[in-house]
Structure 1
């Protein structure tokens, strides 16, 4: 009789242990970040920025607060860029046009061009350049120290290449488009070459994938 009681006790303890293990496993699985296959998405390893200050084409300050509350597609370049920059800005213009059909869910999207050539890209120059592509695009510049402080946080690289005169030079720079979420975190990095369809589809997929996080 005692052996039967002992057997039942062992079974009960085993069942309890199995139940606790299953409950723990399911809870751990539930708390794991959902998997994704979206090219360029960094989440959940998002990059958190410290505050910064730049100046827009209207000579108004632009800080981390201006990224918050928006989804921001950001590109670093310069107005004298012969190829990559105008091509990428045309892609972003096309993305904006594509998103018209998704206006309700993407109305809080902004497009930001940050100059890595503060010497030549003054506010009036940036204003003219942005107007050529889209007047709603935000053009930013800053001192060398301000730009390096921001690019250093983001892993964006650039380097001036000497030209025929002090005002005639090129700037080698990263060609990626960065995506920031409404909390001001870098959430994705889209590597070149860029297409309107590629950026639009990945952006919408990321918005849909992370929608619950911002509800």
Structure 2
């Protein structure tokens, strides 16, 4: 995988923090920007614990990277990653919920713990207050990240 600037990215760099992971196209239309906004607000709402959480956007279709670069200016700190289609499918398979296969149902926000374990997911249109409450409980209970 690479970041938006083409620099190699190792997923081990994500360890040590809670991650809110979202998969989407580089065009990042209204549902996508809504989810980026939601993850940013959930992190900001953690107040003094915000440094323990990061937002990760995995690009499933990199046809419009310039558009995404512009969009991400509104969401500083978001880690945007791109990779070969097979690599993205393999990564997505690790996040598949029981109802679908790789890249099916990826319109979700996934919570990954600081050790890299998938913890839970939410439909992208889920109530952000429930996500906020759950993340606060995880941060309170966790001694890692």
Fold match (TM-score > 0.5): yes
| Matches for 1:190-205 after TM superposition, within 5 Å | 190-205=122-137
Checking the alignment, whether the CA contact within 8 Å between 1:177 and 1:191 is kept in structure 2 is: yes
Q: Does 1:146 align with 2:93?
A: no
Q: Does 1:112 align with 2:112?
A: no
Question: Which residue is equivalent to 2:121?
Answer: 189
Question: Which residue is equivalent to 1:137?
Answer: 78
More helix by share: 1
After TM superposition, the score normalised by the length of structure 1 is 0.58
Cα shift at 1:74: 0.5
Question: Which residue is equivalent to 2:107?
Answer: 175
Between structure 1 and structure 2, the one with the greater Rg is 1
Runs (4+) off by over 6 Å: none
Cα shift at 1:183: 0.8
| Matches for 1:89-104 after TM superposition, within 5 Å | 89-100=36-47, 103=48
Equivalent pairs, count = 141
DSSP 3-state at the match of 2:46: helix
Cα shift at 1:69: 1.0
Checking the alignment, whether the CA contact within 8 Å between 1:74 and 1:177 is kept in structure 2 is: yes
Unmatched tracts of structure 2, length 5 or more: none
Unmatched tracts of structure 1, length 5 or more: 1-53, 160-172
Aligned-pair RMSD on alpha carbons? 2.2
